Amino acid sequence: MNKNKKVVLSCIFILSALLLAEDMASDIMAGATLSHLMEEIVVMCLLFTGVIFIWKDSIALKADLTRTQNELESAKKESIEWHGKNQTLIKGLGAAIDIQMEQWHLTASEKEIALLLMKGLSMKEIADVRNTAERTVRQQSLAIYTKSGLSGRAELSAFFLEDILGPS
């Protein structure tokens, strides 16, 4: 819940409680029964409980957001550090992948699709990125698998990652 909604709801609850308190004062002067006054006290307590729940939930959500933002910032720093340390390896792997795709005689479009497949994008996402029809992406994917002799996306990724991810 955003801050404006929280403030508006809290104001509505508090205003309602104040109007109820004023009504109770009028009821007392008019000689209202104790049971009627007790009902109004219960309603007033519920209104204040609602305000407490709104603010308590808001504080918890803010703490969660802060924690998540800190985790994200940490992950970004870690990613930048990892890329910095491994830049030479990343360039070498990219070049090796490009050489292998050349050996398979993939077209420029097929290379791009192969890389997007290895990154885990769906056929629809690849079609959206490349501004083409999903059917075209599927056909080009089949051409990639035929030219490479691989059976699908998993084998394509495994082809390049198998030696990297193996035991030391």
pLDDT at residue 44 greater than cutoff 80: yes
Going by the DSSP 8-state scheme, the letter that residue 105 receives in this structure is T
* pTM attached to this predicted model: 0.54
99/9 Cα distance (integer angstroms): 62
What integer pLDDT is reported at residue 92 of this predicted model?
86
Question: What fold characterizes domain 87-165?
Answer: Arc Repressor Mutant, subunit A (1.10.10)
What integer pLDDT is reported at residue 31 of this predicted model?
87
**Residue 144, Cβ density class (10 Å: 0-12 exposed, 13-18 middle, ≥19 buried):** buried
Average pLDDT on 108-127 reads 95
For the segment 21-33, what is each residue's pLDDT rounded down to a tens digit? 888 888 888 888 8
Question: Of 35-39, 58-62, 147-151, where does the model show the most confidence?
Answer: 147-151
- What is the location of CATH 1.10.10.10 in the chain? 87-165
Characterise 167 by phi-psi region: left (phi > 0), alpha (psi -120 to 50), beta (else): beta
Determine what percent of the chain is predicted with pLDDT higher than 90: 49
As a whole number, the mean pLDDT across the chain is 90
